[in-house]
Amino acid sequence: MRQETVDRIRRFSEDRDWGQFHTPTNLAKSISIEAGELLECFQWDDQNYDVDHVKEELADVIVCCQNMLDELELDVDEIVNKKMDMNEMKYPINKAKCNAIKYNKL
């Protein structure tokens, strides 16, 4: 995400003094709630959905995740790359390509 976007998210919360509510627990709940709202976009029809509504709900998830990153003083690139390293080990191409089987069943 571009720095100007991150700064805008931070400024939005700061201007409203919402940092006091941004505990890790509250943010984890918010991420889950917003992810549920994203899933709701596909509840009855996974072919014909409102892409604009999907974008709104996905943006809410991303904003909550950025707030969690800030609250815990985490670097998104660091934690995503660490997780990708783990995923690449759990799902080697020669075993995982073209199948959706969980890593412990490969």
For the whole prediction, is pTM greater than 0.85?
yes
| Whether pLDDT at 101 is above 90 | no
pLDDT of residue 103: 77
The radius of gyration of the chain's CA atoms, rounded to the nearest angstrom, is 17
| Whether pLDDT at 11 is above 90 | yes
Length of the chain, in residues: 106
In the chain the domains, ranked by start, together with CATH numbers, are 1-74 (1.10.287.1080), 75-106 (no CATH)
- What CA–CA distance (Å, rounded) separates 69 from 24? 9
Taking residue 104's Cβ as centre, other Cβ atoms within 10 Å add up to 6
Question: pLDDT by residue (tens digit) across 22-81?
Answer: 999 999 999 999 999 999 999 999 999 999 999 999 999 999 999 999 999 999 999 999
- What CA–CA distance (Å, rounded) separates 35 from 92? 28
